[in-house]
């Protein structure tokens, strides 16, 4: 069980949802888990509940990340922090593009830059990148999010090439809809939003994603589980649209 080979973990976006569930799961396996998030109060509550080490830190704070990763050699890195601003690209604005690129992609690149070389030098480590089914399938009105998650997907594959010959494993987790607070964060915490995205649906919980991550880590060190797509049984991505030029464009 490689859990016994690993001592430390770094989890971003750890204050709620999938991140908090991953922190709890890894703490339960005996790792010293460093939990990074911007929200101080839920992060402190998580630390009291799980024993994790809390760091109130924005993943766009490159100097702060460099200090943290310079002080601790991490065996497991879970890049979970992410944001979304659903909008057609024809209506995209500068601030939204910069935010999604900075959080969803640039922070992942820099954390891998800071952490993976140490894993390679120690011949031990596991990178977990939380992307999305949006990395592989197109939905209407979410272009920048798709672009950043597709980049994380390609990075995940490229990391294995760059670390080839060393026992550094990389797993990309691609969730579909999961019952977390992300929809409230993105669209507002209202009864209408809960009805639209959560209520009445049979959805995976954050703990299900955390358990899948634990499964990948717990595999024998000779086994790399490279990609997991995790969706509700009653959700199917993909589709096909055809427009007639004599009719107005459909609103997605």
Tokens of 92: 């995209």
Long-range (24+ apart) CB contacts under 8 A made by 235-244 are 235/176, 235/177, 237/133, 237/136, 237/137, 237/139, 237/176, 238/137
d(CA 4, CA 20): 22
- Pairing state of beta strands 76-79 and 168-175? unpaired
pTM more than 0.85: yes
Active site residue 201: no
Q: Are the C-beta atoms of residues 17 and 182 closer than 8 Å to each other?
A: yes
Length of the chain: 252
The string of pLDDT tens digits covering residues 135-179 is 999 887 789 999 999 999 999 999 999 999 999 999 999 999 998
d(CA 166, CA 151): 23
Task: Return the residue matching tokens 């010959």.
Answer: 165
Q: Are the C-beta atoms of residues 27 and 96 closer than 8 Å to each other?
A: no
Task: Write down the catalytic residue from 6, 137, 145, 201.
Answer: 145
Domains within the chain, CATH numbers bracketed:
2-229 (3.40.50.720)
| 57 has pLDDT over 60 | yes
Confidence band for 246, pLDDT divided at 50, 70 and 90: confident
d(CA 102, CA 106): 5
Q: Are the C-beta atoms of residues 76 and 8 closer than 8 Å to each other?
A: yes
| 252 has pLDDT over 60 | no
Give the relative orientation of helices 107-122 and 143-162 as an angle to the nearest 10 degrees. Answer: 10
The answer for 172, left when phi > 0, alpha when psi is -120 to 50, beta otherwise, is beta
């Amino acid at each position: 069980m490689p859990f016994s080979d690993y001592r430390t973990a770094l989890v971003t976006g750890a204050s709620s949802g999938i991140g908090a569930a991953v922190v709890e799961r890894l703490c339960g396996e005996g790792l010293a888990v460093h939990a990074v998030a911007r929200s101080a109060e839920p992060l402190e509550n998580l630390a009291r509940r799980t024993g994790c080490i809390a760091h109130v830190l924005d993943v766009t704070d490159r100097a702060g990340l460099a200090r943290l990763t310079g002080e601790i050699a991490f065996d497991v890195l879970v890049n979970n922090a992410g944001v979304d601003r659903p909008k057609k690209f024809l209506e995209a604005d500068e601030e939204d593009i910069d935010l999604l690129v900075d959080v969803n992609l640039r922070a992942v690149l820099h954390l891998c830059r800071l952490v993976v070389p140490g894993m390679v030098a120690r011949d031990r480590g596991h990178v977990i990148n939380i992307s999305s089914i949006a990395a592989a399938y197109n939905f209407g009105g979410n272009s920048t999010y798709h672009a950043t998650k597709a980049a994380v997907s390609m990075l995940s594959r490229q990391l294995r090439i760059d670390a080839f010959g060393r026992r550094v494993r990389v797993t990309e987790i691609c969730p579909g809809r999961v019952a977390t607070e992300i929809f409230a964060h993105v669209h507002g915490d209202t009864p209408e939003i809960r009805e639209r995205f959560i209520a009445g649906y049979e959805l995976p919980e954050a703990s299900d994603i955390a358990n899948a991550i634990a499964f990948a880590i717990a595999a024998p060190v000779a086994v790399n589980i490279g990609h997991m797509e995790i969706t509700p049984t009653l959700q199917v991505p993909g589709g096909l649209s055809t427009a007639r030029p004599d009719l107005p464009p459909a609103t997605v």
